[in-house]
Amino acid sequence: MSGFFKDKRIVVTGGAGFLGRYVTEGLDDRGCEKILVPRSRDYDLVKGEDVRRMYDDMKPDIVIHLAAVVGGIGANRRHPGKFFYENLMMGVQLIEQGRLYGLEKFVAVGTVCAYPKHTAVPFREEDIWNGYPEETNAPYGLAKKMLLVQSQAYRCEYGFNSIFLLPVNLYGPGDNFDPRTSHVIPAIIKKCVDAVENGRDYIECWGTGNVSREFIYAADAAEGILLATEHYEGPEPVNIGSGCEIRINVLAEKIAEMTGFDGVIRWDKSHPDGQPRRGLDISRAKNGFGFEAKTPLNRGLRATIDWYLAHRR
């Protein structure tokens, strides 16, 4: 613990959300005494005047921007316009008003969805502009990717210190288990647990199950974000991942076993798979600020399942 955060005023947008709670806990563990979380009831971060007022009220030294309108494939397909507009405008307003305010540092947290649909695995940061994102989440991914463009443009013209991070798919205790908006791990956990409790002999999952994903435990992702906040000053994007890729059908079988579901997993091929593969090159984060994920998938899944079993009611 270096003491870097102790006397700084840190605003964490989305600090009450899933990843945000891990980031604020990490700041507290580092001795940060001024952790500030703007709430949507007080500040609509899509609106420039509210963002300006937030800066005037909270007077941050550093902003870690985690707030996002986000969901799984279904939510992205239902709300492409909302996901594009609100994610774009939040980031654009926060960076612009941060520049005018004289912010010390801005940490833009993007998404792996910004990568092209057919990126070679492992995804290298240099490949981020080599094609169009996977169609089901392209509006969200492109909105977030514009914050990389803005960060680099503002660094070039104004000397504004903004960095851009690309976390892979998150999971962990406290995740969103709402079937309308959840991502793949909490969705499958809930399906399996519900099937066990209701005596059903099958569950149904979207797609073919043959695509792959990389996952990072949310506490590990938060550690990577905080290490980058303290130590990384570069203009180039940085992947935040675990370096471990797994096929979705294998993941589903693993979760079924861990939840005690011994029925059939049916794959509904009328629904899209999303991006064919996801696996990150994590060397830039390791070399740039010493980040490596610590939580193996099995241990992280066990903790996530146990949390859900304890809190689902």
Nearest residue to 187 (alpha-carbon basis) of 115, 271, 282: 271
The catalytic residue among 22, 43, 140, 154 is 140
Tell me the three state secondary structure of residue 211.
coil
Separation of alpha carbons 266 and 268, rounded Å: 6
Active site includes 55? no
Q: Which long-range contacts (CB under 8 A, 24 or more apart) does 191-195 make?
A: 192/255, 192/256, 192/259, 192/260, 192/261, 193/259, 193/261, 193/305, 193/308, 193/309, 193/312, 195/261, 195/263
| Residue partners of 303: CB distance under 8 A and separation at least 6 | 172, 173, 217
8 Å CB contact between 37 and 64: no
3-state secondary structure 142-208: HHHHHHHHHHHHHHHHHCCCEEEEEECEEECCCCCCCCCCCCHHHHHHHHHHHHHHHCCCEEEEECC
- Candidates 125, 102, 110, 13; CA nearest to 64 is 13
Residues serving a catalytic function are 140
